[in-house]
Amino acid sequence: MSVSRPQSAPSSAPQPVITPDRVDSGPGTPEVLNAHPRYLAHLRTAVLVCTFGGLLFGFDTGVINGALPYMSSPGQLNLTAVWEGVVTASLIGGAALGALFGGRLADRIGRRRTILFLAVLFTLAAAGCALAPDRYVLTVARVALGLGVGGASVTVPSYLAEISPTNRRGRLVTRNELMIVTGQFAAFVSNAVIAKTLGESGPVWRIMLAMAIIPAVALWVGMRVMPESPRWLAMQGRSADALAVLETVRAPGSAQGELDEILENIKRENAQERASWGDLATPWIRRCLGIGIGIAVINQITGVNSVMYYGTQIIAKSGLAMDTAIVANTANGLVSVVAMCVAIWLLGYVGRRRMVLVGLCGTTCAHVGIGVVANTMTESSTKAYIVLALTVTFLAFMQGAVGPATWCLLAEVFPARVRGLAMGLAVACMWIANFCITLTFPWLVSPRGIGIADTFFLFAALGVVGLLWGLKYLPETKGKSLEQIEWNFASGRIPR
């Protein structure tokens, strides 16, 4: 049932459930954890194992970068530009569905069992991709792989948030984003090693795709011995089991206090009415939703995934041999990892709005540079390495500023009552934008399309649009509590 809320009265804004940070004696403080390394080791192991889901997210989205040119070659799948887009984008379509249903599955059977199920799905789908006899079977297998990717994008962060101590939660949850770009880098390196070892042999792409089975099996084996989320156990009325889990990842004497808080929060949540679509009609909440969808779409129209999915082909079309282009493309993955590490540090000092705006300036300039080089230079190794330098520059701004700040803003701008519903809509719009760009990029850069130069000029124009939109609408949320952010939006004041 929809509950109406006045636009200008902050006191009538949806009230979030507040869990106090116990800085001095709460579980997970650095002092307590250092005094009890066994509990810290258990926590770190759980974080490492479950973030293999993020690693698989990155690996399965990145591995196509090197495999696509080989599967498109004569004697293999003979993919046209349109089919290259279909095969690549099919995973994104599956991911959108996986994200939609993954959260519900995790609520029903538990976070741990859902991740185990996803590990099996990752394994079978990767094997199906590697053994696909034609483009139709490959597309279906990629959709299945996407279901796993989308499910992991929802379930792994939930597991991390619920098993982490309150005052370490942000840093530990961010590890999943780092593992995603690490997975993409690992895919690029794996592709390069296989290409250099096996050369231009026809079925080399099958081996590239089959490599995704290894981390999938590792995830399944690791999660077999990991505990269930204590919060999910408490939600199921299994308080004794939740306490047992907390006692393995918290310092002595703190588990019972945290369980009491979890149970109190669950009681408060159950007392609240469930959010409905009607809640999104409230003008100030609709404004929050517009900002969330806007920044989610801008994140994708930078063309980041055109580089992450098709970077090898961009470099090869600029003048390098395919096996050399695959090796050169590893620079894109390495820079993404380094930039993400820098971004995690920057988020503690630089505002989200400033990071997005500066990042968009950098990505737009890089796109203009690629367009100019593609338009004025003939194919050569020099041209290829200049293009590579510009894609590396683009990713430094994208992964080091725009991307991480986007996810922070999405987690902060929505009122607590509708956060799940609104964030789901925003992320769905992000997947849709990703799908559209991934599907059309191979055709755009083909002889029948507008070519590489004009495609990147188009990305630059979209970047300018995003920059102007951000200057007008993007709020600053750094240094403000979630309650303060709600108050500002409900009062009609958007901080800059």
Residue-wise pLDDT tens digits, 181-228: 888 889 888 888 888 888 766 688 899 999 999 989 999 998 888 888
Q: Does pLDDT of 380 surpass 60?
A: yes
CATH number, position 485: 1.20.1250.20
- Cβ atoms of 66 and 187 within 8 Å: the answer is yes
Q: How many other C-beta atoms lie within 10 A of the C-beta of residue 461?
A: 14
In this structure, the answer to whether residues 428 and 284 fall within a common structural domain is yes
Residue 257 lies in a domain: no
Q: Given this model, what pLDDT does residue 393 score?
A: 94
Amino acid at site 331 = A
Residue 270 lies in a domain: no
HSE of 27 in the Cβ direction (CA atoms, 13 Å)? 25
Q: Given this model, what pLDDT does residue 32 score?
A: 39
- What residue numbers bound the domain in which 106 lies? 30-226
pLDDT band at 458 (very low <50, low <70, confident <90, very high): very high
Q: Which percentage of the chain shows pLDDT scores above 70?
A: 84
In this structure, the answer to whether residues 282 and 219 fall within a common structural domain is no
Residue 17 lies in a domain: no
Residue 264 lies in a domain: no
In this structure, the answer to whether residues 344 and 492 fall within a common structural domain is yes
Closest CA to 461 of 450, 474, 447, 477: 450
Specify the pTM: 0.74
In this structure, the answer to whether residues 421 and 486 fall within a common structural domain is yes
Tell me the mean pLDDT in the region 482-493: 71
pLDDT band at 157 (very low <50, low <70, confident <90, very high): confident
Q: Does pLDDT of 390 surpass 90?
A: yes
pLDDT band at 462 (very low <50, low <70, confident <90, very high): very high
Residue 47 lies in a domain: yes
Residue 91 lies in a domain: yes
Q: Given this model, what pLDDT does residue 27 score?
A: 37
Q: Given this model, what pLDDT does residue 35 score?
A: 41
Q: Does pLDDT of 265 surpass 60?
A: yes
Tell me the mean pLDDT in the region 260-271: 73
95-144 pLDDT, tens per residue? 888 877 877 788 788 888 988 999 999 999 999 999 998 889 999 999 99
Last residue of a domain, one of 226, 249, 266: 226
Cβ burial, residue 322 (10 Å; 0-12/13-18/19+):
middle
In this structure, the answer to whether residues 81 and 175 fall within a common structural domain is yes
DSSP for 62-131, please give it.
HTHHHHHHHHTSTTTT---HHHHHHHHHHHHHHHHHHHHHHHHHHHHH-HHHHHHHHHHHHHHHHHHHHH
Highest mean pLDDT among 118-127, 376-385, 439-448: 118-127
In this structure, the answer to whether residues 288 and 222 fall within a common structural domain is no
Residue 253 lies in a domain: no
Closest CA to 149 of 94, 105, 194: 94
Tell me the mean pLDDT in the region 229-242: 83
| Domains contained in the chain, number | 2
Longest pairwise C-alpha distance within the chain: 69
Last residue of a domain, one of 210, 226, 242: 226
